[in-house]
Amino acid sequence: MAGCSSGSSSSSTAAATAAATGSPTATGSPTASGSPQASPTPGQPNGGTQLQDAYQMVIANVLPSVVQITTGESLGSGIVYDDKGDIVTNAHVVGTATTFTVTLANSTTALDATLVGSYPDSDLAVIRLSSPPSGLKPASFGDSSKVQIGQITLAMGSPLGLSSSVTQGIVSAVGRTVTEPQGAGSPGATIGNMVQTSAAINPGNSGGALTNLDSQVIGINTLAATEPQTNGAAAPGIGFAIPASTITNIANQLINQGKVTNSGRAALGVTARTSFNQQFQPAGAVIVAVTPGGAAASAGLQAGDVITKIDDTQVDSLNALTTALASLTPGRHVTVTYTRGGTTKTVDVTLGELGTP
């Protein structure tokens, strides 16, 4: 997987040649006046025009809420969250910076912004405009539970520095658990319940809006899949967005409290690393330390125990353990299979909640 913040804040210099198109002219039998009579569109009458009108309506409603964020030599996107100047984006877009330059849609005026708070474990952050202009248009966020495979989506942002760009696709899958690559300002978070989309997501799209045809933001564009066989080149048509429910939960806490105390993410309460067998193959996640009072400690797990399974999910590495936990919720009862002193054991654990780092 690859994050989608751009590595350069300069505008793209790539030349694009596009055919200028207007409204298509349909031809048919001439009328008595000599004007051509339009042939009916197969299927639903005017179906193509209706879909085009729907696209244009969504773009008119949502694009003014999508901004470009510049941080040093990198750039990304963001979404206007409220009329006070709060903007939600990806944590990997802001990185370690605390000051930013923001450009609103259809504007060339650079606005100053400062960091409100960042929560890298969910790859979300909020920044605030220092002097919010009048007429800011906050986005409307949809209900994540109603997102369905096959829904048409539009992705909005600043790919490759091309501000206010829009691509289209569908929801390809829901409930994906994805691990981000590690990099500057990105700890390589594992995020659950992500929305997979076929809408093109490119560097600079990070933090932008993934919307439905009701002009609602259903996710924040976060990363694109890559193909290992092509040295990490982007895999066409496979992008991921953090769902709206996670966005609003984390953003509200960052704005109101400056930190996250209710992450909604399950935690076992351990520090662990990958365990290897005698053949030097990954064979589990060995506990290095147990958090006092945490879920693992309460269940009797100890440093040195090697976790090999969470319920029916095999755990052969630290990454596998993190991925398994990302798909679960705090308070969930799970069975942890582990080895201690060469003996395989199981224990019931009530999962805790991942707190602020």
User: Catalytic positions, please?
Assistant: 92, 123, 206
SS3 assignment, position 297: helix
Cβ atoms 208, 78 nearer than 8 A? yes
Rounded CA-CA distance 94/194 in Å is 20
State the DSSP code for 16: -
In terms of Cα–Cα distance, which of 280, 283, 301 is closest to 292? 301
Pairing of strands 352-353, 266-267: antiparallel
Length of the chain, in residues: 357
Torsion of CA 103, 109, 112, 115, to 10 degrees: -10
Percent of residues in the chain assigned helix, strand, coil, to nearest 5 = 20, 40, 40
Contacts of 284 (CB under 8 A, 6+ apart): 274, 275, 306, 307, 308, 315, 316, 317, 338, 339
In terms of Cα–Cα distance, which of 342, 335, 255 is closest to 304? 342
